[in-house]
Amino acid sequence: MDWTHTGLWLAVVTSGFYHGVNPGMGWPLAVSAGLMERSSRAFAAALWPLTIGHLLAMLVMILPFALLVALVEWQRQVQIAASLLVAGFGFFRLVNRRHARILARIRPTQLGLWSFTVAISHSAGLMLVPIYLGLCGAAKLDDGHEAVRALINANLCMAVLVATVHSLAMIAAGGALAWLVYRYLGLKFLSRSWFNLDTIWALSLILVGALSLAVGMTRQH
């Protein structure tokens, strides 16, 4: 089974939209900021730290793998290990629904730190790891003749690009939903329509890990 380059980028954007619509990733905080200040500027200003925090969390997850895939002869093993890690955490989230206690200690005004911490505690970036590894393979670099430094630089640039595209898609979806609630739907809609994606999130991690594992197992040495 092969994932095309276009399909992989579509997965990056789709996972961003998926994170964005999840209230747990923070868009209700932007609504709260706008309503408390009674200002659209306050609403818009709250979106930036949420974006930056999420982006940093994605990079923390992806960058170590960007260095690992420079070990060309171990790429298959790295992908298999990453797949098992993603699926394993999905099973863990399915069984353990409790959220990290540290989130209760972060003030609502510390939006960037809150966004970073919640993304790390949910291991949101793990979903991007198999996709990122696939994109590195899709780049068709001549690994046997590339200098190690050039290969690492290419991997790091791809990691930053994947994290950035994902985070922009996340805040676009979350920001649009937050704007609808703030401007038109109101808090009553939020209280009546609150939805929790924890179970779907855990199942998504398992699915992504399983698909990536299947790809890694069928990849030739």
In this prediction, residue 141 has a pLDDT band, given cuts at 50, 70 and 90, of very low
Q: Is the pTM of this model over 0.85?
A: no
Phi, psi at 91, each rounded to 5°:
-65, -40
Residue 12, both tokens = 């990056």
Report the candidate in 111, 125, 118, 119 with the shortest Cα–Cα distance to residue 48. 111
Rounded average pLDDT over 26-45: 87
40-49, Cβ contacts within 8 angstroms, sequence gap of 24 or more: 43/178, 43/179, 43/182, 46/111, 47/171, 47/174, 47/175, 47/178, 49/111, 49/112, 49/115
Q: Which residue segment(s) compose the domain that 29 sits in?
A: 5-218
* CA-CA-CA-CA torsion sign (105, 37, 187, 31): negative
Domain count, the chain: 1
- What confidence score (pLDDT) does residue 52 get? 94
State how far the Cα of 108 lies from the Cα of 106, in Å rounded to an integer: 6
State how far the Cα of 80 lies from the Cα of 216, in Å rounded to an integer: 6
pLDDT, tens digit (0-9, with 9 covering 90-100), for 62-120: 888 777 766 555 667 777 777 788 778 777 777 776 655 555 556 666 788 888 888 88
